[in-house]
Amino acid sequence: MKPRDSRPGKGPRSGATSSNKRSAAGGSGRSAASGSGRSAGGKRVDPRDARRDPRDAKRPSRDAKYAPRAAVNTKRSRPPARENTGPRAPRPDQHGLGGSQIEGRQAVRELLIAQRRKTFEIWVSNDLDENDVINDILALAADQRVPVRRVPRKEIEKEARSEAPQGVLAMAAPIPDVELGDLLAPRKGNVPAFLVAIDGVTDPGNLGAILRSCDGAGVHGVILPRHRAVHITPTAAKSAAGAAEYVPMCVVGGLPTALKQMKDAGVWIVGLSDAADKNIFEIGDLTSEPICLVLGAEGAGLSRLVKERCDLLVSIPMGGSLSSLNVSAAAALATYEVVRSRVAKTK
């Protein structure tokens, strides 16, 4: 009988003498060296099970990367406190008129004179020369105990949202709006209602100029749609030069519905349209009645549904080369024509 071949590689493997024995090197049958990927017996091992290099302690492991969501700390840290660099004011009402930030000397002075809403803080540029308007602002603010801060002009220009804040900026409560029913209620002396509705005007400068004309003409209220129309921005308030503090304004969900409600209350609805056959100077008989002038948007004019709600469409005669006026200029002309006609009838 031939003896068994004892040449290396032909006999039984050294690691196979006892499958339950652990190697003395690592106690688990795995190699202590992680770079080779093989155990002391030559078996292939999973690199993930190898001992990690100490330099990899800060690197996320594959198991940690794909760990269940419950094992990950999802608790959010508290955001850092906001640095108080600007005037404080309440969060603006997205469905109201706005007007929390007021810029410009005349607008801020009328804000303090009207006292229709609370003023929180006023910034005045420290390089402004004293004049009557600035002195009035400082005196009124002192009487009403409104904080006044003297700041560099660049700080005001950084915070401003209009082109020329004139070195004065104020923060106040939003402008309060009124209900449409209040505008339609009877007035002292049975004065017929005089209202203006604005159909989709989006330029804040135009809105401010319209409000200024309405205040001068004694308009009892302005109706604004809630959507697709500008409300009281800093530019609108500055263009109005304080008129936004005095003219009652109503925000409605839909202008056609509001016009129908006014018609049901006995108000004549007169819309301005370039294509109308009758002109604004021919409505003398209607001015002694409750009336609402409706102004169209820049360029587009009155919308279809608004036109359908009007009792009468009138135009402004144009004797030159242009076909129409700016909406703010048209508002000034039309509102004062109603005033002129009413005054003429009382004589």
The helix/strand/coil state of 268 is: strand
> Which residue in this structure is represented by tokens 């007007």?
99
Closest listed residue to residue 295, CA positions, set 271, 265, 322, 276 = 271
Does 119 fall in a domain? yes
Q: Are residues 221 and 151 in the same domain?
A: no
Q: Are residues 220 and 157 in the same domain?
A: no
Does 15 fall in a domain? no
Structural domain that includes position 124:
101-172
Closest listed residue to residue 233, CA positions, set 327, 141, 104 = 104
Q: Last residue of a domain, which of 148, 172, 196?
A: 172
Q: Are residues 228 and 294 in the same domain?
A: yes
In CATH, what number is assigned to the domain containing residue 248? Answer: 3.40.1280.10
- The bridge status of strand 249-252 relative to strand 278-279 is unpaired
Q: Are residues 130 and 189 in the same domain?
A: no
Q: Are residues 198 and 311 in the same domain?
A: yes
Q: How confident is the model at residue 96 (pLDDT cuts 50, 70, 90)?
A: confident
pLDDT of residue 284: 81
- The bridge status of strand 249-252 relative to strand 194-198 is unpaired
Q: Are residues 116 and 160 in the same domain?
A: yes
Tokens read off for 330: 């048209």
Q: Are residues 341 and 257 in the same domain?
A: yes
> Could you give the CA distance from residue 151 to residue 127 in angstroms, rounded to a whole number?
9
In CATH, what number is assigned to the domain containing residue 161? Answer: 3.30.1330.30
Instruction: Compare 228 and 223 and report the one with higher pLDDT.
Output: 223
Tokens read off for 48: 């993930």
Does 313 fall in a domain? yes
Does 61 fall in a domain? no
Predicted TM-score (pTM) of the model is: 0.73
Does 232 fall in a domain? yes
Q: Are residues 189 and 321 in the same domain?
A: yes
Q: Are residues 164 and 215 in the same domain?
A: no
Number of domains in the chain: 2
- What is the per-residue pLDDT across 311-330, written as a single tens digit (0 to 9) for each? 999 999 998 998 889 999 99
Instruction: Compare 91 and 161 and report the one with higher pLDDT.
Output: 161
> Could you give the CA distance from residue 196 to residue 83 in angstroms, rounded to a whole number?
43
Q: How confident is the model at residue 276 (pLDDT cuts 50, 70, 90)?
A: very high
Q: Are residues 261 and 112 in the same domain?
A: no
Q: Are residues 338 and 273 in the same domain?
A: yes
Q: How confident is the model at residue 215 (pLDDT cuts 50, 70, 90)?
A: very high
> Which residue in this structure is represented by tokens 């129908």?
260
Q: Are residues 252 and 119 in the same domain?
A: no
CA dihedral 8, 14, 17, 23 (to 10 degrees): 170
Q: How confident is the model at residue 52 (pLDDT cuts 50, 70, 90)?
A: low
